[in-house]
Every structure is written in structure tokens, then in C-alpha cells.
Amino acid sequence: MNTLFLTAEEQKVFQALPAKLREGWTVEEEKGQFQDAEEKLSMRMALLRLHDPKLLAVQKRAVGLSSGQLAELLAQTDLKGVADDDLAELTFAVGPSILSKLIEGLLLQAKTDAELEDIVALALIRHSLLQSYISV
């Protein structure tokens, strides 16, 4: 899949990337919006059932963090090699707002197609979460 679901602000960052890097990617505007409550985020993080030691450490450190601090913590965490079920659990728990912060940060640093593929995956997860919230 080569479609990026990006907000208007994220699209501006994407357009600032070198033309060669943007080549071959289709951008669709992410119009879904969701305002998360810090208390709900905190509760979802506390209820996570994770197995990966890296994510268990993140979960412990996440106690009492704001969404911005949690986004920074996740941005510093190497998620390579983490099982899909743990990643699914984590992305659902952090929700679209934190995923948006991660996407923006990753876009600012993107230099390769592989990095854009990671962004595509996160943007698709965020898009799916937003769609599920809208359809409820």
C-alpha cells in the first residue's frame, strides 16, 4: 500500500520532503478528528496487556505522563521486532492523538522509503481508529 492518510498539517511536512522521496506515494487527507481525555489515556495505558519487555518498560514509565510526554517516550522506543499483537494493543491504547504526534515527528525525520512505509502503517492504524470512532 502506498497511500498516506495525512492531516493538512502533516501534508505540509510531507510536501517539504525531497521530490524523490515523495515520488510514488499517494496522499489522502485525514479528516477524522478525536479529542482524547488524559484520564482515559492513562486508564488505557494502565490496562494494557503486553508481553514485550521493551513495551512493559514503556508502560511502567508512562504512569503519570501527559500525552505529549508519552508521545516523546514512544518516539524514543525502538519498536522493531515487537510482536504484532503487542503493537496492536499499544496503538489502540495510545489512540489517534499520540499517533498523530508520532507521525509528525517521523515525517520531519524521514529520509528513506522504508521510513515512509513505517509512517504509512501508523497513519493507516490512526485512520482505522478514527473511522471506528466515527462509526460508533
6 with 14: CB under 8 angstroms?
yes
The reported pTM is: 0.89
pLDDT of residue 135: 64
Give pLDDT, residue 80: 87
54-90 pLDDT per residue, tens: 999 999 999 888 888 999 999 999 888 899 999 999 9
Q: Three cell numbers at 114?
A: 522504508
pLDDT confidence of residue 34: 84
Report yes or no: 91 and 123 within 8 Å, Cβ to Cβ: no
Question: In the chain, which residues have pLDDT < 70?
Answer: 135-136
pLDDT at residue 33, as a whole number: 83
Task: Give CA–CA dist 114/120, Å, rounded.
Answer: 10
- Residue among 90, 68, 69 at smallest CA distance from 79: 90
Q: What DSSP line would sit under 74-99, residue for residue?
A: HHTS--TT--HHHHHHHHHHHHHHHH
- Measuring CA to CA, which residue among 108, 128, 129, 107 is closest to residue 118? 107
